[in-house]
Amino acid sequence: MNATMFYTTITSPIGELLLASDGESVTGIYMQDQKHGAGQTRDWKRDDTALTEPRTQLQAYFAGELRDFELPLAARGTPFQQGVWRALRDIPYGETISYGELARRIGQPAAARAVGLANGRNPIAIVVPCHRVIGANGSLTGYGGGLARKSWLLAHEPRGRLI
């Protein structure tokens, strides 16, 4: 049996975002036409008040007034995915790293491809900054929300360096 999920939408510079919550934590932030989207079911209930704080923090981020999110998160994924998503939260605002570096940071230096796949399945876009992971040569590669959005998000944050 599925628990009720709550959602709302927010207009942003990269299009409408769907915010999801289990009533206590953010479980998803999805972009329109995202490769691995929300998968809403009839158990989802629209509740614009349940997600006031995530909405406020996202608006502050897009306004250039917030760099670090402070939200309870509850992304659902495998233990490996969870490890990748935790490591993503350690990438500072305005910096980028390669998939290989991210694999090294989680203690699995040969797993760059698997890290890329886990990165692509990140259900909490922007707050868990998968957009900060780029190709080893500095190129923008893969992004569930599309490369134009990834480019916008990276340009929105001060230019960082490849680590």
Range of the domain at 43: 5-62
SS3 142: coil
- pLDDT of 37 > 60? The answer is no
Which one has a higher pLDDT value, 2 or 136? 136
Check whether residue 53 and residue 83 sit in a common domain.
no
- CATH number for position 20: 3.30.160.70
Helix segments in the chain, DSSP class H? 52-62, 79-88, 99-105, 112-120, 147-156
In a domain, 148, yes or no: yes
Q: How many domains does the chain have?
A: 2
Whether residue 28 sits in one domain with residue 91: no
Same structural domain, 132 and 84: yes
Q: Name which residue leads in pLDDT, 87 or 141.
A: 87
11: pLDDT strictly greater than 80: yes
What does each C-alpha distance from 162 to 7, 137, 154 come to in angstroms? 35, 9, 12
In a domain, 101, yes or no: yes
Distances (CA, A) of 113 to 9, 81, 86: 32, 12, 17
Query: Does residue 71 sit within a domain?
Result: no
Average pLDDT over residues 4-18: 92
Let me know whether 86 and 152 are in one domain.
yes
Backbone angles phi, psi at 24, to 5 degrees: -125, -40
Q: Is the pLDDT of residue 2 over 70?
A: no
Residue 50: predicted pLDDT: 80
Residue 145 pLDDT grade (very low, low, confident, very high; cuts 50, 70, 90): confident
pLDDT at 161: 44
Write down the pLDDT at residue 44: 82
Choosing from 14, 130, 133, 154, the catalytic residue is: 130
Q: Chain-wide mean pLDDT for the chain? A: 87
Residue 130 catalytic?
yes
pLDDT of residue 131 exceeding 90:
yes
